[in-house]
Structure 1
Amino acid sequence: MWVTSSVVESTVVFAVLVVLAVWIDLFDLPWWVWVLLVAADVVYTAVVPQWRYLVHRWEVTDTAVYTQTGWWARERRIAPMSRIQTVDLVEGAVARLFGLATVTVTTASAAGALEIAGLDRDVARRLVDDLTVKADAVEGDAT
């Protein structure tokens, strides 16, 4: 899913650059500039999905949901079960092609929701059900 998303993103960026080149006549740029742009697209498509796979992690225990994300800086977040307000499941267009989904755990935190992307659709559904039961069983008002 992440490879396909990267290919689509880099293709769109390159298409925009070509349109801009036609519109403001950038074809006078040296050939090596175009080679660098294509190389940057290829590197982006090859590196970004692998990097995401190596960095993104998640875990659910009886007391909390843990996530790790980040590119240059790693962000680890913990959402105690007593603070969970909603648990959502989203299947984007690309994710649906691969049978994947994203689970979003919303709390009262100013940092925003925790997101677990790229889960198998069935795993995501079970996770939503499991988190809903666990959050409901914990005393607290989720604020």
Structure 2
Amino acid sequence: MSSRPAIDAALREPAHQVSPRAIGYWRVGAGINLTFWVVAAIVWYLLSPHPWWAVLIAVAVVAVSAAYAVVMPTLRYRIHRWEVTPDAIFTRSGWLSREQRIAPLNRVQTVDSHQGALMRVFGLSSITITTASAAGPISIDCLDHEVARRVVGELTEITSAAEGDAT
């Protein structure tokens, strides 16, 4: 019997997208970053003498930050995906460079959830799954808070039923 179907299944795209509210969350976070750069450019402009080309650089930094705030959230939403099956956790993330991770559930050591202040405003949570892997933990960012609670419970149930110590 060939192992090809298992390989094809492992290489497929994870089934679930993150919460649609992640777009707003990422946009607000990028907007906070943009605000920092705008204020820094204004303060710098008002407090120091500078050549014309330095002003051009400051305008370019603000323009790039604004483009980032507009473009990045939608691209990230299209790319970030996740799935938990009875055998493994699948994730895909990134927007400039992409990372796809697959971790067998028998390698899971801990499951943590996180909800920062801005995430609470958007009703989002992130999950971090620590595995016995040199590649480090797997993160599933920006899930609806209730979905994250359900996934943490599901992972805890699956991994606690497994025999062994995930090493």
TM-score, scaled to structure 1: 0.88
Match of 1:104 among 124, 128, 144: 128
Relative contact order, CA 8 A, sep 6+: which one is greater? 2
Unaligned runs of 5+ in 1: none
1:86 and 1:133 mapped to 2: Cα distance?
Answer: 12
Does structure 2 retain, via aligned residues, the 8 Å contact 1:14–1:41?
A: no
Match of 1:29 among 48, 52, 67: 52
The residue aligned with 2:97 is 73
Match of 1:55 among 79, 97, 108: 79
1:102 and 1:2 mapped to 2: Cα distance?
Answer: 13
- The alignment partner of 1:111 has SS state of coil
CA displacement 1:22-68 (0-9 Å, x = unmatched)? 55533x33565444333222211101111110111100000011000
Count of aligned pairs: 142
- The alignment partner of 2:96 has SS state of coil
1:73 and 1:32 mapped to 2: Cα distance?
Answer: 29
Alignment of 1:14 with 2:44, yes or no, is no
Indicate the percent of aligned positions where both proteins have the same amino acid.
44
- AA aligned to 2:80 is H
Task: Compute the RMSD of aligned alpha carbons.
Answer: 1.9
Match of 1:83 among 107, 111, 116: 107
- The alignment partner of 1:71 has SS state of coil
- AA aligned to 1:83 is R
Unaligned runs of 5+ in 2: 1-24
TM-score, scaled to structure 2: 0.76
Does structure 1 retain, via aligned residues, the 8 Å contact 2:105–2:159?
A: yes
Q: Name the structure with the higher strand share.
A: 1
Does structure 2 retain, via aligned residues, the 8 Å contact 1:2–1:49?
A: yes
